[in-house]
Amino acid sequence: MQTSLLGIEAIFFDIDGTLSDSDDQIIEEIVRRMHFLHFLWKDSHLRKFARSSISLAMTFFNSTYHVVDSLGLDNFFAKAFPHKHAQNKDDFEKDFNLIDGVEKMIAILYRHYRLGIVSARSESGVLHFLQQFSLEKYFDVVVAAQTCYYTKPFPHPLLYAAEQVKVLPEKCLMVGDTIVDILAGKAAGMKTIGVLSGFGTLKELRRAAADFILISPAELVTLLNQNFG
């Protein structure tokens, strides 16, 4: 379901699978930790198993939450699963790799929009990402797992980000690679863009009704070019 992006004033980004290809790094770390299976499988088979296992787990979670969202049980689950259960990937990696074209994209968008990070990572993990590539200057707001009481897929962190940059939610855009990002954006009343650079699949992002789906986050510049003026 595509819609107009005219009037967008702020853009919020997920990190893993959206700005960083850390999803692949997670796979490699899991393979390293499964070294005891090397006598059974080659590394290539272990990688395939690790990716399939994570994708299956995420699909199960995403599908479950999609049902919860459809039944209007968000408030119940928000009380049952507060921020302390937020996903923390910091244990899986020390350094990040930017997805191709992301640094240039951020520099261009910074000239036209208020930018923010909304991640389920810990604050230290988010700051490490920004500092590694000297990106701090581009972002007006940084929201980590513990910034708000609830994290994605609930809308609280996105609404907080919009409030911090003083932009109405309907004039904000959420960019992420999973339906967790899309559902959070939609629940906050924002436009949403899904990117196929992480674990999220085209089928999942379509089912979540992302307003646009891009192969790479770098394509966002071309998509928004008509808005620059």
Mean per-residue pLDDT of the chain:
80
- CA–CA gap between residue 184 and residue 66 (Å, rounded): 11
Fold classification of 10-26+58-228 is Rossmann fold (3.40.50)
Residue 123 tokens, joined: 């604050």
pLDDT at 111 over 90: yes
35-50: per-residue pLDDT in tens? Answer: 555 546 555 656 566 5
Query: What's the pLDDT at 7?
Result: 94
- The predicted model gives 125-141 an average pLDDT of 96
User: What's the pLDDT at 191?
Assistant: 97
Whether the per-residue pLDDT at 77 is higher than 50: the answer is no
The pLDDT tens digits for 187-219 are: 999 999 999 998 788 998 999 999 999 999 999
Tell me, what's the pLDDT at 90?
Answer: 46
Q: Given a cut of 70, is residue 75 above it in pLDDT? A: no
Q: State the pTM of this model.
A: 0.76
Cα–Cα distance measured from residue 104 to residue 90, given in angstroms and rounded to the nearest whole number: 25
Mean pLDDT of 55-68: 53
Percent of the chain scoring above 90 in pLDDT? 53
1: pLDDT confidence band, cut at 50, 70 and 90? Answer: very low
- Per-domain residue ranges of the chain: 10-26+58-228
